[in-house]
Chain A
Amino acid sequence: MGKNVGTKSGNAGLLIVTTLVALPFVPLFLWAFAGEWRFPDLLPSAWSVRGLSYLFEPGGRVLGATLNSLLIAVSVALASVVIGTPAGMALGGYEWRMKGLVIFFILLPILVPPLASTMGLHVTFIRLGLADTTLGVFLVHLVPTVPYTAIIMTSIFAERTGELEEAARTLGANPWQAFRHVTLPEVAPGVAVAGLFAFLISWGQYILTLLIGGGNVVTLPMLLFSAASGNDPIITSALAIVFALPAVLALVVALRFLKPGESDDGRGFVGLGKVS
């Protein structure tokens, strides 16, 4: 009986929470397809595809910015996985002295805002010719992403015992073969999650791109920010929806393949508090 009451209030609670989570998306979708929406009308009085056509305008800035964002986020995700996975292996797979200190150091950029370090770096980047370039933006995006991939991979490697590799080695595999055929397939889902996080963090980055890209490297959040500071909710909403799309897709993929709520309840996502 008590369980029933719990379920009922749980359903009512879920309805409230769902409504609150969905609320900001309501005006975004309505505005994106609105033609005219005067105060105090509850719904737009006319619809239009102006927002949509702005997105696909030939020679428009959105397409270029989207490609820039994708190029940077994909490269950042790949690089952070390549850099973070070995670190995770060292931190999760082995016991050694000073480990706590190294973990503190690697976690620091998650809690101490990279804004401070990036402003400090700017002068050096100018001198090295990295300021105002995509390469420079790529490099500073690694600061918030590498800690995440390293920490996610640490927890993945910490759960493994290494027995399978030992068996493979006993059966005559060399270290590379053992890694390639035993370790890698086992940690692959973790690598995918880590890469997804890194992609989303880089994708959402605004201030680091602005500081180092100096307005020359135009990514989607640049366009969204200038639209949001202006006074055109139709364009702003259309951009916001495009900008939110990868996050939604990533969530769908993660839920499909990682099956939260069953075994490890998508614990990976818990670390994801601060994507942008």
Chain B
Amino acid sequence: MGGRVKIALLLAPALLVIGVLFAGGLFAAVVQSLGYLPAIGQTEISLDAYREVLTGEDFVDSFLLTIYVAASSTGISTVLAVLAALVLRRSSGRLSAVVFQLPITIPHLVAAVGIALVISQTGLGARLAAALGLIGEPGEFPALLYDRYSVGIILTYVWKETPFIALVVLASLRGVAGELEEVARTLGANAWQRFWYVVFPVISPGIIAASLIVFAFTFGAFEVPYLLGKTYPTILPVMAYNEYRDIDLTARPAAMAINVLIALITAVFAALYLRLARDLGRG
């Protein structure tokens, strides 16, 4: 059996699944976004849906909210992850492994429910505040769910994604950083200098790669904002879903146009991530 044939055969099942169910689905989404819906008698191709979506105020609001949620979640998670990894890298072993990996494996919905029960106006946080005499009524506790600032969504993402980034950082810290730091210490570098000139360059590629993944994920994820977000504006995937659920089938192209835009934006991040991963592989 020729090498090329063998490789093609080995790849065929995976390529078939992704080609038909993913690429095929995206292609169908593009076709429907162009207004081609024979099921309801629409066969004319146009860019009307994109014009409608992109000029609508809803889209701009949703887009900004999505960027805000994804960027804050990623930024906060990244900073906390680097801090946690730096502090915990010497406390070895099993416990820290469990502590880091538990949030990674727990489903997002469970995390969202747990966080909601901590930060709601009758949640654990509000009860503690009442016990300390800070508030008297639930209403005096700040509204952190379904709120303007999407605090509940961001906190859920931070809880879920910080350990993921921290594990990546820990893995790169185990590399050369330790020995180089000793050398820098011997040469008289202070803690900040050791971090900035020795540790950071070692861990930064991992940080960038991991946070790109987190950004792309939080940009396109649905469940947590659907559960903990307010009704307007919603993040883009929820907006697409709401348009899709519209009984009026003429809203379909708009839903698909939003989907295609989400796919394009996240694909750019995928390309960035893979280029980075490849450069790292070479370096």
Contact = CB atoms under 8 A, between A and B. Distances in A.
B159 A20 contact: yes
Nearest to A23: B118
A257 interface: no
A26 B161 CA distance: 20
Interface string A64-95: 00000000000000000011101101110010
A46 interface: no
B107 A221 contact: yes
Contacts of A269: 101, 104-105, 167
A contact face: mostly helix, strand, loop, or mixed: helix
A109 B217 CA distance: 11
A33 interface: no
A228 B112 contact: yes
A248 B237 contact: no
B25 A120 contact: yes
A109 B18 contact: yes
Contacts, number: 318
A255 interface: yes
A17 B113 contact: no
B149 interface: no
A117 B138 contact: no
Interface in A1-51: 2-3, 6-7, 9-11, 13-14, 17-18, 20-21, 23-28, 31, 39-42
B203 interface: no
Contacts of B123: 27
Contacts of A270: 164, 167-168, 171
A87 B16 CA distance: 11
A96 interface: yes
A247 B106 contact: yes
A273 B164 contact: yes
Nearest to A12: B87
B276 interface: no
A272 interface: yes
Task: Bin the interface of chain A by size.
Answer: 35 or more
A9 B271 CA distance: 39
A10 B173 CA distance: 15
Given A111-B216, A275-B104, A42 B128 contact: yes
Interface stretch (A54-62, A141-149, A166-174): A141-149
A261 B263 contact: no
Contact of A11 (B4, B91, B161, B263): B91
Q: Which 9 pairs between the two chains have the least Cβ-Cβ distance? A: A24-B114, A120-B29, A117-B25, A113-B220, A13-B87, A40-B130, A10-B91, A120-B28, A87-B14
Interface of B: 3-4, 6-7, 9-11, 13-15, 17-18, 21-32, 37, 39, 84, 87-118, 122-124, 126-128, 130-131, 138, 159, 161, 163-164, 167-168, 170-171, 174, 185, 210, 213-214, 216-217, 220-223, 226-227, 237, 240-241, 244, 255-256, 259-260, 262-263, 266-267, 269-271, 273-274, 278
Interface of A: 2-3, 6-7, 9-11, 13-14, 17-18, 20-21, 23-28, 31, 39-42, 82-84, 86-87, 89-91, 94, 96, 100, 102-121, 123-124, 139-140, 142-143, 146-147, 150, 200, 203-204, 206-207, 221, 224-225, 228-229, 233, 236-237, 240, 243-244, 247-248, 250-251, 254-255, 260-261, 265-267, 269-270, 272-276
